[in-house]
Amino acid sequence: MGNGTAGLAPFERVAAALREAVSSGRLKPRDRLPSNRVLAEQHEVSLPTLQRAVALLQEEGWLVSRASVGVFVADEPPTEAPIMTLADVRHALSELRSAVATLEKRLDRLEAADQ
């Protein structure tokens, strides 16, 4: 899965791996994915975690589900990852918290100097 998945939740790591498999051509449009149980075993996650990853990829347009048939790579999967992933949001939030903490310290010093 690579270094770009550090800090991601397990379902996000699975989704990233499947996106990469589609982007790299290992999985092609209209390819049928293995069963959820097989994929969960391959990625060493629980079945609910795998199902959450598949649901996310369906929402993003990477995968389509056909009742009683299986899950397939979309006919025209996205050409790139979503503009902002949950990991991106978490990283941005972390940076904002750090900036706010820095500003609070500066403000405390300025207020102390005025007294």
* First CA to last CA distance, the chain: 55
Q: Kindly indicate the confidence band of residue 2, based on its pLDDT and cuts at 50, 70 and 90.
A: very low
Assigned token pair, 86: 């949950």
Q: Where does residue 23 rank: exposed (0-12), middle (13-18), buried (19+ CB within 10 A)?
A: middle
pTM metric for this prediction: 0.65
Whole-number Å distance between alpha carbons of 102 and 93: 14
2: closest CA among 39, 18, 51, 62?
18
- How does pLDDT run across 63-91, given as a tens digit for each residue? 999 988 999 999 998 876 556 667 778 88
Q: How many helices (H) and strands (E) does the chain have?
A: 4, 2
Mean pLDDT of 42-59: 96
